[in-house]
Amino acid sequence: MSLKVAIIGRPNVGKSTLFNRLVGKKLALVDDQPGVTRDRRYGKGRLGHMSFDIIDTAGLEEVFDNSIEGMMRQQSEMAFEECDVALFLIDARAGLTPLDNHFADWLRKRQKPVYVIANKHEGINQDPGLYEAYGLGLGDVAPISAEHGLGIELLYDILEPHWKEWKDGVRDEKKKAQQAAAEAQKDAAAEAGDDGFDDFDNEDDFPDDDGETFPSFEIELFEDDEDEDGELIDEGPRDNSKIQLAIVGRPNAGKSTLLNQLLGENRVMTGPQAGLTRDSIAVDWAYEGRPIRLVDTAGMRRKKKIDDRVERLSVADTLRVIRYAQVVVLMLDATNTLDKQDLTIARMVLEEGRALIIAVNKWDTIIDKSGVMQALRDKLDTSFAQAKGIPVLTFSALTGRGTERLMPTVLDIHDIWSRRISTSKLNRWLEVVSERHLPPVISGRRIRLRYMTQAKARPPSFFINCSKAAELPESYTRYLINGLREDFDMPGVPIRVNLRSSD
């Protein structure tokens, strides 16, 4: 007997993948139990210290007729009747389909706990399904990638209370049974003149939860997941996933010089990456053991002709590079900083939700260093109020002076950009800030901020459920974003807040 978790959803959303992920590669994938229908798969799932039964409904769509009713009746009803908790999967990338909506309608009418899981969320994509899923009326949405093991800690948060409840329930029942058995034995012993000491201690079926520290299940479960998308997201120590880094800037800013400074001869050029255009290249590299991929940095391309140098930076090219990067270093020429083009690039980086570092090169040529720095800071603060605290570095790529600070800054901002804040912390915070500065009253009723959760990281994106979301002024949203940045120490990265009303 275990807590029973069903995985439900239309075909192709990733149910089997999640099933395999939870059951674990090393365990038997399918546990066909005799006597039950062949069309459901059962497995022992594990997350951290929890273990539970998983029912996967994948494959049923082939067995039964393909009508919506047919599928739902057959596939989901059986699994659903059997389970204690259901995970309702949708495909975050594909967005919602009518079939997802039918499933949701059906699930909303049931009494059992159902959680919406937006699968195939790999962090740097724009995923329409993720926000649409909040509109299903089934509460919060957990973005995960079953294939890459991302966001699995959210499943842990979801299942843990049910697991605990189940465990306590069973423990109570067991205790009762033990007491009854003990009573019965005492009676029997009294009759037989026996002292009746016998123990019924079966408690070691349960890992003890008193004061235990939970193991890091990311590490425990997915230790072999260091593939190129292995973006482990948590609040813990720095992970070791590959950082996609781009160095952009106007021609002549010094990008090639910096690359040579950083990499020396120590570079591995890789061919065109899937999804990049044919003439794109990337350099795989490691900084203090941390894998770094320099994506399609203009300076890496062989310069064709001298007159190409005067060519203006193509916005489309730059945008494409930014989209493949996680951290973008915008290189400026200290003798000519922050013109319109530079500001445009910086704005694109933030709009695309990437982490931005501003690197002011050719610092060796500047005499009034503090004057230039002050002017730059002022310009940044007025132009990019939405990402206060963007790191600004000054160095000379030519001499190497100051360039040693670049990579530590990249690692730091990548950490901030990947940060996850627990729902409980966010809700405590929301209560405090919305009392400190009350939301406005709209037609006689004050807007209420009810509930908050982090929808995703990279960049940190938050979802707030509130009354009359459409009427909350922009200035209040800015207040919330600035507060998040300050209170959770997230300088320099774009922060997103999505407000929704459930009424």
Does 299 help bind ligand GDP (rule: CB under 6 A)? yes
The answer to the question of whether 135 is labelled as a binding residue is no
Within a 13 Å sphere around the CA of 325, how many CA atoms are in the beta-carbon half? 31
Cα of 393 vs its chain's centroid, Å: 28
Does 365 help bind ligand GDP (rule: CB under 6 A)? yes
The answer to the question of whether 296 is labelled as a binding residue is yes
Does 229 help bind ligand GDP (rule: CB under 6 A)? no
Give the C-alpha distances (Å, rounded to integers) separating 427 from 134, 136, 432, 434, 477.
18, 22, 9, 10, 16
Among 77, 82, 234, 364, binds ligand GDP (CB under 6 A): 364
Radius of gyration of the chain (CA): 28
**CA–CA distance, 89 with 9 (Å, rounded to integer):** 5
* Closest CB to ligand GDP among residues 292, 329: 329
Among 76, 145, 337, 454, binds ligand GDP (CB under 6 A): 145
Among 256, 337, 409, 418, binds ligand GDP (CB under 6 A): 256
User: Can you give the length of the chain in residues?
Assistant: 503
Contact map string, positions 32 to 71, toward ligand GDP, x by CB under 6 A: --------------------------x-------------
Does 419 help bind ligand GDP (rule: CB under 6 A)? no
Does 123 help bind ligand GDP (rule: CB under 6 A)? no
CB 322 within 8 A of CB 245: no
The nearest distance, CB 416 to ligand GDP, in angstroms, is: 25
Cα of 330 vs its chain's centroid, Å: 25
Does 456 help bind ligand GDP (rule: CB under 6 A)? no
Among 45, 254, 459, 483, binds ligand GDP (CB under 6 A): 254
The answer to the question of whether 11 is labelled as a binding residue is yes
* Closest CB to ligand GDP among residues 361, 461: 361
Q: Which stretch binds ligand GDP (CB under 6 A): 233-241, 245-253, 341-349, 490-498?
A: 245-253
For residue 414, what are its two tokens? 């990548």
Instruction: Tell me which amino acid residue 111 is.
Output: Q
Does 424 help bind ligand GDP (rule: CB under 6 A)? no
Give the C-alpha distances (Å, rounded to integers) separating 134 from 20, 89, 211, 383.
26, 13, 35, 33
The nearest distance, CB 304 to ligand GDP, in angstroms, is: 12
For residue 227, what are its two tokens? 């593939």
CB 9 within 8 A of CB 103: yes
Within a 13 Å sphere around the CA of 420, how many CA atoms are in the beta-carbon half? 22
Does 76 help bind ligand GDP (rule: CB under 6 A)? no
The answer to the question of whether 256 is labelled as a binding residue is yes
Q: Which stretch binds ligand GDP (CB under 6 A): 27-35, 357-365, 469-477, 491-499?
A: 357-365
* Closest CB to ligand GDP among residues 256, 453: 256
Q: Which stretch binds ligand GDP (CB under 6 A): 141-149, 180-188, 316-324, 338-346?
A: 141-149
DSSP 8-state assignment for residue 226 = -
Query: In this structure, what is the dihedral angle of CA atoms 476, 479, 485, 491, given to the nearest 10 degrees?
Result: 110
CB atoms within 10 A of CB 20: 20
CB 47 within 8 A of CB 155: yes
Among 3, 5, 15, 458, binds ligand GDP (CB under 6 A): 15
The answer to the question of whether 121 is labelled as a binding residue is yes
CB 71 within 8 A of CB 60: yes
The answer to the question of whether 198 is labelled as a binding residue is no
The nearest distance, CB 404 to ligand GDP, in angstroms, is: 14
CB 273 within 8 A of CB 242: no
Give contact residues for ligand GDP (rule: CB under 6 A): 9, 11-17, 58, 119-120, 122, 145-148, 249, 251-257, 299, 361-362, 364-365, 396-398
